[in-house]
Amino acid sequence: MLEELKERVCKANKMLRESGLVILTWGNVSAIDRKTGLVVIKPSAVSFEDLTPEKMVVVNLDGRVVEGEYRPSSDTPTHLALYQGFEEINSIVHTHSRYATVWAQAGLDIVAYGTTHADYFYGDVPCTMPLDDDMIENDYERNTGYAIIDTFARRNLGCMEVPACLVAQHGPFVWAESPEQAVENAIVLEEIAHMAVFNTNFQFGLTRISDSLLDKHYLRKHGENAYYGQTFGSVQALDPEAAAAAEAAAAADIQIAPSNHTVELKNISEIGEVARPVINKLPKKEEDVFKFDDKIAADAGSDMSGDFELTPLEPDAKGDDLLPSEPDPVGIQPEPAPEPPAEPLDFTF
């Protein structure tokens, strides 16, 4: 049953270990056959080295095992909830990869800081709210999936535009249309999580990626008019005359000097001056750190709110040498002499 899918899921699970995303048995890959509604998933707590396609477990969307000698992954109810909530996805990866889990344990989104992020995730990777006690005590694994679905619904996110979510205090879940792509998304998620740890240490001037650059990098790969990569079967037969004309045009535009092998663009003067990007803009939280408080100055009895300059003090004119001051006595001091007793009073009359 589903022999080809079992083989692909087994191979995808092994890729997790090979890519360094998991240690011990901390992770799993599943895939669904949408025609039958059956899910193939890794068996629980079986080492990745021992996995074979025959050891994969097949379950239905109710969680009942329909084929396999092993118990399915303990995360199976989470996978099933996601397959039911996100009908576009066909494969799910769960890991405890180090840096993505750091963000999950902190309960923080992974902010889109650059194009590496934007190539795969169309915006911040969200983190769920922590599960409450009731959700943990009653059907915990399925509620984990519901927490992810709820996060995407509340934030109005598309599951294919942002194919990953961090579960607060737990770890990442990633998905795609195929097991191979889901593992690739998990690898990229870990890499951008690693980068973001360092980015957030650069507090001065840190800004998220611009909307235009986010759009450009995501849509050129995933948009309706995507042009990243190869589209097999869509390349027309090469016209030899057109190829020769293009090669001649390229040779006319570029001259290689044999003496030093430098490349000179003949039309370089036509390139307009590129405006220098504005970087290192202070975050809003820093803007008022040194704001002068007029009220404090007024209370102190002087108006210092205007512009003023600090000038170095002139050196003092040479005068008499200063005598050293007497040091304060230190150590054990002698007790003061006792006062003489007063003469007795005469009360005789």
State the catalytic residues: 119, 228
H-state helical runs in 156-203: 179-199
The closest alpha carbon to 144, from 90, 70, 102, 92, belongs to 92
Cβ contacts of residue 305 below 8 Å, gap of 6+?
292, 294, 297
DSSP H/E element including 65? strand 65-67
Cβ burial 159-169 (10 Å sphere, 16+ → b, else e)? beebbbbbbbe
The tokens for 272 are 């307009």
What is the C-alpha to C-alpha distance for residues 158 and 89, in angstroms, rounded to an integer? Answer: 11
- Distance (Å, rounded) from C-alpha 148 to C-alpha 201? 28
Whole-number Å distance between alpha carbons of 127 and 212: 24
Query: How far is residue 84's CA from residue 339's CA, in Å, rounded to a whole number?
Result: 99
Residues in the chain: 349
Interatomic CA distance for residues 100 and 108, integer angstroms:
10
Q: Three-state secondary structure along 300-344?
A: CCCCCCCCCCCCCCCCCCCCCCCCCCCCCCCCCCCCCCCCCCCCC
- Residue 7: count of CB within 10 angstroms of its CB: 16
Element (H, E) at 104: helix 98-106
Q: Check: CB of residue 9 under 8 Å from CB of residue 29.
A: yes
- 14-45: b or e for each residue (b if 16 or more CB lie within 10 Å)? bbbbeeebbeebebbbbbbeeeeebbbbbbee
